[in-house]
A and B are shown apart, each in its own frame.
Chain A
């Protein structure tokens, strides 16, 4: 398999199925591998434009992307708060970060597509949860057990490894939850109303921006270790920009204006 074929396989599957052969022909003729790589990133950041047979499916994809952004923002700020005690030494900042975390969670709940409560759907969710969440759940439970029983007497290196496993387990569980939401049959799920999804996105974007601002201002003024808060602050700022871009995609998908102004 050529490098171009390997790269094309990195496109989201619906996009690859529709445009894969065309993209391959164009890339080989134009020798445009950098353009191909940029296109892959672009498509992963904009699930609203992937080929879809219904508007509902596009909306569902935007909502799942928003939930993924919320989870990434929450995980990043949680990791920072847990590992950098100086960040929450200031009571105002601690309250601000806690409020933002709650707002991010509320935003995620508002935008998330929810399964309908029929028996078949409940069985499907249960089966998917077992399949996708068992390993992260077991790793997380193992790490928690270690922290409560053997951590005090364990060597520093082992404690560090277990801590990394703990966060990887959380990240994997969040990622797999997004996959469950993404593969849920749109016909058997309930996407929130347009107004509710827009409200959720606004809350999510504002809370992520506020978290980024608090973390970056801390990084700019602290006299302690600055690298981690600076990197996390920049990542949170990037997540804010992605939230803004997802909001624009949402506007495109939900717009009811006539075609001439529907961009």
Chain B
């Protein structure tokens, strides 16, 4: 796996378009049923920005929206394909087909 779980979740949330931190966490809650801790969320955002996978947009009010970069989109696609491959293999081993 290329990114940590928190980073993958943030990339997933941003695949829907640019968002600021709180909105990203709401999207993650809708996806997984729980939010990231504040430290984990902004730690993940800072790491993704350091790796060039997300970038900041001009500020809206006092908040700081971010969006996926082309490299971020590429990494996310790679991550999701690996996860889908693992899920498919695991389900096949369990005798369960993907619907």
A→B interface (CB under 8 Å): 15, 18-19, 21-23, 25-27, 29-30, 32, 34-43, 46, 48-52, 58, 252-253, 259-263
Contacts and interface: CB of A to CB of B under 8 A. Distances in A.
Contact of B38 (A26, A41, A51): A26
Contacts, number: 97
Interface string B57-83: 000011110000001101100100000
Contact of B50 (A21, A26, A40, A48): A48
Interface residues of B, number: 32
A136 B49 CA distance: 38
A41 B43 CA distance: 10
A26 to B, nearest CB: 5
Interface of B: 2-3, 20-22, 25, 35, 37-43, 45-47, 49-53, 56, 61-64, 71-72, 74-75, 78
Contacts of A37: 39
B38 A42 contact: no
B25 A36 contact: no
A259 B53 contact: yes
Contacts of A18: 56, 64
A22 B50 contact: no
A32 B72 CA distance: 28
Given A34-B37, A39-B37, A51-B46, 8 more contacts: A15-B46, A22-B22, A22-B64, A25-B22, A36-B39, A39-B39, A252-B50, A259-B75
B47 A49 contact: yes
A48 B50 CA distance: 8
Contacts of A25: 21-22, 62-63
Contact of B22 (A29, A38, A51): A29
B3 A263 contact: yes
Contacts of A29: 22
B63 A43 contact: no
B39 A40 contact: yes
A122 B46 CA distance: 34
B60 to A, nearest CB: 10
